[in-house]
Every structure is written in C-alpha cells, then in structure tokens.
Amino acid sequence: MHWSLVRIAAAMTALSGVLAGLIVNIDRAGRENQVLADVLANYFSMFTIVSTILAMAALIGAAEWSLRHPGTTPEPLSVALSLAATAGPVLLLGVVYNALLRGLPSTVALGDSAGIALLDAYGIEVLHVALPLYFVVDLLLAPRRRALPWWSLAVLVGYPLVWTAYTMIRGDLVANPDGSAPWWYPYPFLDPHGPGGYPSAFLYIGAILVAFLAIGAMIILVARYRAKRAFSHGGHAPTARPLSA
C-alpha cells in the first residue's frame, strides 16, 4: 500500500476525533446553558485540537507531495519539518494524557447521555492514543524520510511557544463559559489565578518547553539516523552532507 494513503487515512481518523469532541462540547454547552460561540472558541483554542488540526494538514501535505512525486527521492525539507513540528506536540499529548490524566473524573461528563459518552471516549482515544501511536510508526517506518538539520529544533518548539503566548494573553480576555470566573485557561496549570500565581504557571511552561526540546531532539536524531542508514544502503543522499547540518 502506498504510504500516502496511510497518511491520508490517519488524517481522516484524526478529523473524526476532532468532530467527535466538537459534538460533545456542543451538546454540553446546550445542556449547561453556555454561550455556544464561547465554547467553540475555547474548543478550537485547546492545544490538543490545534495540534491535531496542524498534524492533519502536515499529513495531507506530505501525502499530496508523495503522490505528485513518485519514486524514492527523500521528501523536501518543508515536508520533513512540517511532519516533525506536528509530531512533537502530538507525542507529548499522548504521553501526558496517558501518564497523568487518564481516568481522572470529569464533573461535566456525568450528565452525558450514552451516545455523547461514547463519542467523548472515542475522541479521547483517537487524539491521545491512536494519533500519537501513528506518528511513532510514521517516524520509524515511513519511506523517503530525510535528515533534519539541528536548527530544526527551533522550528519544532516554535509552535508550542506561539500557542502558549496566545493562551496566556487570551486567558484574561475571555470568561469561563460556565460563569465560574471572568477568565478561562484550557489547563489548570497555566492559570495564573491559582494558588501559585504566575510563578507556578511559568514553571510549568518551562518544564513543558524542556519536554518539547527533548522530544524534538529525539525526532531529529531518528530522522538523521534513518537518513544515514538509507544512504549507506545505496539510497539517495537526503542532503549534500547528510549528518553535518
């Protein structure tokens, strides 16, 4: 099977997870008498959703390039960077959710109907299990991967930093849809109104940045190793100097 079709299937599966979560949030907004526009704006501001949408775009873009350029030549740097830059957030989301958040009770979920509860569970598993696992497979097995220069690490952490800045600025400009506070932050550890204030929030941000740097370095190392191995087995050189960039 052409790997492009696998990437398209992964992107469509991710889309189904985003839509499942969207339906759940719309249902809960109606049930809790929340302003739908605020709920939707918050939903599409969450790191999980933004990261998934970017990952879908990267997968579709990579598949489209591969279909238009059949052969064995390595993917262009733009494709490699887009895949790597979206793989990092998706992988970290998978690790954090399954290590720290899985099984935690949700008060709002207690009022879900059976159908909404099923959609909620489906969306969670797709976005926090299936998609991260796919990116591991893509990183390790997808053909035509190329070596990434070490400066790519700046690109890999760029999106999380932009999202964090957006979130910290936006947080005090919007109210919680449930009316509990005149601010809204998607994750409690980013909320500077908590007991630890801004120092606690920035401490978490620093720790997350370190995690992104570690995951980004791992992605670059794997890409460089695979490119070097392919070149040593008679494949195309991904760059003029595969491992010196």
- Going from the first residue of the chain to its last (245 residues), give the mean pLDDT of each consecutive group of 10, the final group possibly shorter: 92 98 96 94 97 98 95 92 97 91 81 95 97 97 93 95 97 92 93 94 95 96 90 56 42
Cα–Cα–Cα angle for 108, 111, 114, rounded to 5 degrees: 120
Take residue 30 and report the two structure tokens written for it: 């109606």
Q: What pLDDT score was predicted for residue 242?
A: 42
Three-class SS state of 156:
helix
Residue 46 is classified by DSSP as: S
pTM of the model: 0.91
Q: What pLDDT score was predicted for residue 234?
A: 58
Taking the C-alpha atoms of residue 238 and residue 245, their distance in angstroms, rounded to an integer, is 11
Taking the C-alpha atoms of residue 15 and residue 130, their distance in angstroms, rounded to an integer, is 12
Take residue 160 and report the two structure tokens written for it: 């999380």
